[in-house]
Amino acid sequence: MVRYFCLFFFFFGFSQENTFKDYNQKIAGIDFNLEMVALPSGTFKMGSPNFEKNRLADEGPVHEVYIDSFWIGKFEITWDLYQLFMQREIDSKKIKYGNDINVDVDAVTSATTPYVDMTFGMGSNGYPAISMTQLAASKFCEWLSAMTGNYYRLPTEAEWEYACRAGNESAYSFGNDVNELADYAWYDYNSGGKYQKVGSKKPNNWGLHDMHGNVAEWTLDQYSPRSYYSYVNQIADNPYNQAQKLYPRVVRGGSWMSSDYRLRSSSRTPSNKNWKKQDPQIPKSRWWHTDAQFLGFRIVRPYKVPDNYKDFWIQ
């Protein structure tokens, strides 16, 4: 943990100390703030070692990764805000709080209204939004960027694991003892068969809640069981396996439906077209995975906005 903050000050110095810190993102037209946590740049070991209990082959080989500074949501995105993205009733009230980018909110496509209650009776206010496709989650990020002037997107798989581990190389962000998992996560053992309100379990060392369990979380990357072999014997610099096909994409963290080993920091889940199996529409919806009642997301904001920032939004 200490070495990451040393790297932070070494790379960015005193000037960034005043600008790179936790903040609450205001959104015009509503009394709701998104809590964003500042994570310093650093290097970490991604993946799981061969001796880790219940590890799978796609989690290796372990490789070293460098990650630039970024902010990440303290909580998973909840229905409170996701429903506003779907309804688009506050678009005219937008206020540019930041100067990262300038995007016309009217040009951002919104998710269609689902044909069923997508909470499935599990709750809405304070509960994580679920069952959206990766496209829909990304369009939310684009909409939020247009509403605020700050650049938001989904995390890369490497950013997600860096945030989850919070400086820890063990199976979970808190250590290896699965008996402690219930203090930090909702999963099949303690969830009662439904998702729970965000932030109701202990956070990791960086103050992030529900990185293990509650709902699994979208990342940007294409899933490949052998993608880590590309980074052996080198330090991977902000790796990102840009998607070339619709399936599979990488989902992380495990959920309220998952067994404990699926909540490990290194566990990877590939998306599946069968997550749309119950969708009666022809063609199937671009916006909803009706069968993925375990799937949500959280957002990130890079400290440095790249010139090709639109390439990190799913189209």
Which of 24-33, 94-103, 265-274 is modeled with the greatest confidence? 265-274
Contacts within 8 Å (CB) and 24+ apart, 188-196: 188/256, 188/257, 188/258, 188/259, 189/260, 191/256, 191/257, 193/256, 194/122, 194/123, 194/256, 195/122, 195/123, 195/127, 195/128, 195/130, 195/255, 195/256, 195/294, 196/127, 196/256
Whether 75 shows a pLDDT value over 50: the answer reads: yes
Q: How far apart are CA 151 and CA 142, in angstroms?
A: 8
Which band of pLDDT confidence, cut at 50, 70 and 90, is reported for residue 260? Answer: very high
CA torsion angle 205 208 214 215 (round to 10): -130
Which band of pLDDT confidence, cut at 50, 70 and 90, is reported for residue 14? Answer: very low
User: What average pLDDT does the segment 73-92 reach?
Assistant: 95
- Give me the residues paired with residue 46 across strands: 63
User: What average pLDDT does the segment 44-55 reach?
Assistant: 98
- Give me the residues paired with residue 175 across strands: 172
pLDDT digits (tens, 9 = 90+) for 176-222: 999 999 999 999 999 999 999 999 999 999 999 999 999 999 999 99
Pairing of strands 42-46, 63-67: antiparallel
Q: For the stretch 278-300, what's the b/e string if a residue is b when 16 or more beta carbons lie within 10 angstroms of its beta carbon?
A: ebeeeebbebbbbebbbbbbbbb
Q: How far apart are CA 46 and CA 51, in angstroms?
A: 15
pLDDT at position 293: 98
**Among 312, 307, 308, 302, which residue's Cα sits nearest to residue 40?**
302
Q: How far apart are CA 296 and CA 279, in angstroms?
A: 18
Would you say 21 and 303 are in contact if contact means Cβ atoms under 8 Å apart? no
Would you say 216 and 185 are in contact if contact means Cβ atoms under 8 Å apart? no
Q: How far is CA 15 from the centre of its chain?
A: 28
User: What average pLDDT does the segment 8-12 reach?
Assistant: 44
Q: Which amino acid is at 93?
A: K
**Among 268, 278, 295, which residue's Cα sits nearest to residue 133?**
295
Angle between helices 134-148 and 79-87 (to 10 degrees): 80
User: What average pLDDT does the segment 14-27 reach?
Assistant: 80
For residue 154, the 8-state DSSP code is: P
Give the predicted TM-score (pTM) of the model: 0.94
134 CB-contact burial (10 Å; exposed 0-12 / middle 13-18 / buried 19+): buried
Could you tell me the CATH number of the domain that includes residue 73?
3.90.1580.10
Domain total for the chain?
1
The full length of the chain comes to 315
pLDDT digits (tens, 9 = 90+) for 104-121: 999 999 998 888 899 999
The tokens describing 192, both together, are: 């009662």
- 97: containing domain: 2-312
Give the residue ranges of DSSP H helices in the chain: 2-17, 79-87, 134-148, 157-165, 181-184
pLDDT at position 186: 99
**Among 253, 250, 242, which residue's Cα sits nearest to residue 315?**
242
User: What average pLDDT does the segment 209-237 reach?
Assistant: 98
